[in-house]
Amino acid sequence: MANISRWRDRRRAPVSVQTPRPLLRSLAAGLWQTARHALAEPYQLVIERHQIKLSRLPRALDGLRVVQLTDIHHSPFTGREQVERAVEIANSLRPDIIALTGDYVSHEREYAAPCAEMLGHLRARCGVYAVLGNHDNWVDAALVTDLFRAEGMHMLVNEGLRFEHRGESFWLAGVDDTMVGLEDLPLALAGAKSDEMKLLLAHNPIILRRAARAGVDLVLSGHTHGGQVTWRTERSASGRPRRRLLRGLGRQGYTQIYVSRGLGTVVLPIRYGSLPEVSLLELRSAE
């Protein structure tokens, strides 16, 4: 019995585990590097270039250049210098169309007018088209809409139009935001011909399945910030695309979507693994 008691005492004796100092130093250095990158990334604006083949794009419009800007979030986190730089880059890409897909401000109403004024300097051969995001609605949708229209931008609020260029046309539509319950896709597509190409601007990419059922060819969205802070790749360990698209090109059946990482930030002025972008999308006819 004595031997058994001693064995039990040994089992219950506390064990002191000390983390080696080199390991602690390595962890601290890793955290410091991550923090440095996260604070620097919001200022590392890049151009994302993609070609998108569309079977219903008329041949005369092959090569149409669409520049997309989204999620500006003009605020103390995303200042004038960042917005003006994005505008300068967008104009330098010689776009035919500029598509703005929402969230121009974050929470403060006073940033709406300066943001509209800066985006009013955007130049495209065939115009600047915009839709509202959830933050724009939370701030003041009517104010943002009026300011953008005063700057000559086409604000599409559950509406569409026949875009005509080089003697050909397609349906260009935009919806209000899904998150605030104001999206009306059927209204935006009313007037579109069943057999013509349809390009849809929608802040939230969650619209993709409904857009696919409605026969939309291409959706341009934002909202996700590409994750803003993420270690995630766009493919799972099996190599398959993930169900929820955070950024880049995706597809639902016949309908394609591009989700931009956007320009600004929310909650904290940081990004990690998701650089801010200006998107240049060259539309190619696959007829």
**pLDDT per residue over 158-216, tens digit each?**
999 999 999 999 999 999 999 999 999 999 999 999 999 999 999 999 999 999 999 99
**Contact at 8 Å (CB) between 48 and 277?**
yes
Domain limits at 115? 19-285
Judged by average pLDDT, the poorest of 37-46, 121-130, 235-244 is 235-244
Residue spans of beta strands (DSSP E) within the chain? 46-54, 64-69, 97-101, 128-131, 154-155, 159-165, 168-174, 198-201, 218-221, 248-252, 255-259, 277-285
Whether pLDDT at 130 is above 90: yes
Structure tokens at 37: 């990158």
Taking residues 137-142, what's their average pLDDT? Answer: 98
Distance (Å, whole) CA 287 – CA 280: 22
- The pLDDT, as a whole number, for residue 228 is 83
Residue 1 lies in a domain: no
Q: How does residue 4 score in pLDDT terms, banded at 50, 70 and 90?
A: very low
Residue 10 lies in a domain: no
Whether pLDDT at 75 is above 50: yes
Residue 3 lies in a domain: no
**Contact at 8 Å (CB) between 174 and 131?**
yes
- The pLDDT, as a whole number, for residue 30 is 55
Radius of gyration of the chain (CA): 24
Taking residues 213-234, what's their average pLDDT? Answer: 89
Judged by average pLDDT, the poorest of 16-30, 149-163, 207-221 is 16-30
Question: What is the DSSP-derived secondary structure letter of residue 161?
Answer: E
- The pLDDT, as a whole number, for residue 245 is 85
Residue 14 lies in a domain: no
Residue 6 lies in a domain: no
Whether pLDDT at 276 is above 60: yes
Whether pLDDT at 12 is above 60: no
Distance (Å, whole) CA 239 – CA 1: 60
Residue 231 lies in a domain: yes
Q: What mean pLDDT, rounded, does the chain reach?
A: 90
Domain count, the chain: 1
Residue 44 lies in a domain: yes
C-alpha distances out from residue 220 to 98, 117, 201, 231, Å: 11, 23, 5, 24
- The pLDDT, as a whole number, for residue 39 is 82
Looking at residue 181, which CATH number applies to its domain? 3.60.21.10
Residue 8 lies in a domain: no
| Among 144, 142, 198, residue whose Cα is nearest residue 169 | 198
